[in-house]
């Protein structure tokens, strides 16, 4: 009887060990993927972004109570300011954010919440590495596993220990680096300019400008559709339409119309600053030396039923800028009455090292200017987010905003109000209408690659983007020039850092406790075998006696 019990126990123990061993993931099982590191730059003596890059830590869910020396895995839904600060407080080894491929599938409230947390995370520097990786099957599997592990905290101690030892899979995240992170200041910031010359000599100039770069938590994932792909798209369409008016002697106005696309807009509008300096201080033939009526800056115009005119000082009556704003309001009230137009006055604080809007760069040089945007707050999180993709663009509203700008410009330059034209007169219709397909194509092209400033002169696809914008200028404008500004290495305005997209390795392993448990099972099995061998004679005697009593 004893022998039978021992044999059964041995068999059960052996099957259990084999079952556990078969369920274990191989320790060498790994998956390599690319993750994109959080912004790291120095601007105006202020440090932004994460200073760290190396990660050697176990993956954990944000719901775990202990995050110290762990790599916290989050989805967009999980990433909040509170959880980000909690990971910092507990000295987490890193944060890995999983970004869905289809941004449009994310609920609007979640998008807004993430954008707010994203902007707050970028305000200050952190030593904790923060990475963003596009979701895929392997990463989602890891996320589900660590999420389930966190959920077992509500279970009994026995269940938690058993799952941790027998069934749980640990994930080790590794970002190795043998070379320290280095800063660089040699990137070129390109600014494009082109002109549509008007009729006459010594005529005034109107400047239309927009910055074309983008910004977000991770530079390699910053596509900037609304901010400021929309401004660039409208500007290029305005150049095409007004070129038709300027090309006919009967419709050419007594104004020069100057267009510019500036780089470095997300970094204190450095491209705009250098372009103004070059035009005013060095190029005597520049149109900015002539009579500039006003500068119209286009920024974030692909959504909302509100338009805000941002100024550094309210325009005085009878000034060109005031007259243009009146034309703008007439177009809106006569054709788009559901659109709200507001004036936002913000004085330039000379104590601050950064400016809020592009027009402030011109205002500092006493050039009349203003910014048109559907955003009221210059600190809006939409102006710098990875989630600012095509899903945030309302093409119908972007086209409407473009029409408002075009009609207001035409009414101003041709003095249509003074000539008694109806308020609802349409200049841009028929062959002069905004082309839906072209605007969609331009936006798709602009968002096909990330337009972060530190990438635009480094990668072939990004260089091609700037070259294509220059080609568009040459197609419709005259006197097209490309200015490439480089910083003074001794006193740079901005310093970027490398190693922004390192390879990351995810190892799927059993926890160390599993090895101890497996060793214990093997030891118990060997103990049973040893006991059986050592007591073979005794067991044989018992077995013989049992068989004899059975025959009797």
**Structure tokens, 79:** 């990433």
Residues 205 and 328 in one domain: yes
Domain-embedded: residue 330 = yes
Tell me the β-bridge partners of 297: 209, 371
CA distances for 449 relative to 35, 303, 445, 459, angstroms: 16, 21, 8, 10
Tell me, what's the pLDDT at 250? 93
Residues in the chain: 552
Tell me, what's the pLDDT at 491? 86
Residues 306 and 415 in one domain: yes
Domain-embedded: residue 38 = yes
User: Which residues constitute the domain of residue 524?
Assistant: 1-24+513-552
What is d(CA 243, CA 66) in angstroms, rounded to the nearest whole number? 63
180: exposed, middle or buried (Cβ count in 10 Å: 0-12, 13-18, 19+):
exposed
Tell me, what's the pLDDT at 511? 60
Q: Give the number of C-alpha atoms closer than 13 A to the C-alpha of residue 188, restricted to the C-beta side.
A: 13
Tell me, what's the pLDDT at 306? 97
Give phi and psi for 513, each to the nearest 5: -65, -30
pLDDT in tens, the chain (552 residues): 434 444 444 444 444 444 444 333 343 478 999 999 999 999 978 899 999 999 999 999 999 999 999 999 999 999 999 999 999 999 999 999 999 988 988 999 999 999 999 999 998 899 999 999 999 999 999 999 899 888 775 555 555 555 555 555 689 999 987 788 999 998 899 999 999 999 998 899 999 999 999 999 999 999 999 999 999 999 999 999 999 999 999 999 999 999 999 999 999 999 999 999 988 876 566 777 668 999 999 999 999 999 999 999 999 999 999 999 999 999 999 999 999 999 999 999 888 888 999 999 999 999 999 999 999 999 999 999 999 999 989 999 999 999 999 999 999 999 998 888 888 889 999 999 999 999 999 999 999 999 999 999 888 888 999 999 999 999 999 999 999 999 888 889 999 999 999 999 998 876 655 566 667 778 877 887 777 777 777 766 777 777 777 666
- Tell me the CATH number at 333: 3.40.630.10
Tell me the β-bridge partners of 507: 30, 172
Domain-embedded: residue 143 = yes
Tell me, what's the pLDDT at 155? 53
Residues 252 and 119 in one domain: no
Domain count, the chain: 3
Residues 456 and 530 in one domain: no
What is d(CA 98, CA 102) in angstroms, rounded to the nearest whole number? 12
One DSSP character per residue, 292-356 reads EEEEEEE---SS-SEEEEEESSPPPTTSHHHHHHHHHHHHHHHH-TTSEEEEEE----TTSSS-S
């Amino acid at each position: 009887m004893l022998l039978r019990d021992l044999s059964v126990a041995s068999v059960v123990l052996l099957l259990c060990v084999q079952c556990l061993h078969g369920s274990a993931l191989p320790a060498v099982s790994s998956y390599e993927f690319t993750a994109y590191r959080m912004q790291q730059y120095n601007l105006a003596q202020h440090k932004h972004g994460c200073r760290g890059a190396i990660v050697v830590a176990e993956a954990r869910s944000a719901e775990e109570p202990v995050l110290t020396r762990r790599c916290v895995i989050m989805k967009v839904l999980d990433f909040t300011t509170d959880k980000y600060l909690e990971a910092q407080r507990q000295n987490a080894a890193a944060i890995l954010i999983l970004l869905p491929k289809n941004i449009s599938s994310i609920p609007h409230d979640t998008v807004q919440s993430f954008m707010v947390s994203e902007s707050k995370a970028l305000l200050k520097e952190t030593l904790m590495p923060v990475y963003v990786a596009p979701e895929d099957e392997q990463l989602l599997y890891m996320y589900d596993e660590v999420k389930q592990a966190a959920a077992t905290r509500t279970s009994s101690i026995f269940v938690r220990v058993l799952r941790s030892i027998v069934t749980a899979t640990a994930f080790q995240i590794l970002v190795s680096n043998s070379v320290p992170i280095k800063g660089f200041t040699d990137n070129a910031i390109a600014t494009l300019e082109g002109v549509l010359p008007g009729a006459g000599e010594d005529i005034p100039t109107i400047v239309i400008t927009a910055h074309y770069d983008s910004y977000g938590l991770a530079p390699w994932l910053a596509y900037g559709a609304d901010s400021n792909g929309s401004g660039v798209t409208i500007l290029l369409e305005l150049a095409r339409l007004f070129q038709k008016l300027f090309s006919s002697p009967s419709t050419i106005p007594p104004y020069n119309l100057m267009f510019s696309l500036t780089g470095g807009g997300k970094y204190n509008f450095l491209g705009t600053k250098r372009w103004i300096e070059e035009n005013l201080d060095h190029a005597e033939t520049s149109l900015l030396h002539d009579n500039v009526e006003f500068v119209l800056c286009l920024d974030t115009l692909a959504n909302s039923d509100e338009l805000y005119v941002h100024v550094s000082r309210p325009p005085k009556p009878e000034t060109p800028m005031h007259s243009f704003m009146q034309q703008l309001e007439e177009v809106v009230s006569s054709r788009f009455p559901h659109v709200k137009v507001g004036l936002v006055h913000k004085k330039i604080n000379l104590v601050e090292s950064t400016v809020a809007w592009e027009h402030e760069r011109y205002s500092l040089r006493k050039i009349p200017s203003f910014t048109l945007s559907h955003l009221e707050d210059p600190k809006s999180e939409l102006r710098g987010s990875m989630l600012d993709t095509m899903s945030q663009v309302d093409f119908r509203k972007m086209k409407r905003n473009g029409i408002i700008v075009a009609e207001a410009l035409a009414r101003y330059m041709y003095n249509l109000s003074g000539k008694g034209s109806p308020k609802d007169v349409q200049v841009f219709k028929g062959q002069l209408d905004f082309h839906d397909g072209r605007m969609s194509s331009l936006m798709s092209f602009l968002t096909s690659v990330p337009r972060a400033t530190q990438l635009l002169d480094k990668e072939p696809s990004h260089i091609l983007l700037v070259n294509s914008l220059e080609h568009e200028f040459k197609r419709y404008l005259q006197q097209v020039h490309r200015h490439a500004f480089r910083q003074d290495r001794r006193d740079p305005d901005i310093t970027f850092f490398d190693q922004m997209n390192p390879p990351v390795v995810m190892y799927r392993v059993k926890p160390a406790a599993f090895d101890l448990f497996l060793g214990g099972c093997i030891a118990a099995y060997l103990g049973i075998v040893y006991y059986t061998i050592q007591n073979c004679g005794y067991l044989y005697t018992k077995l013989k006696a049992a068989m004899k009593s059975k025959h009797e």
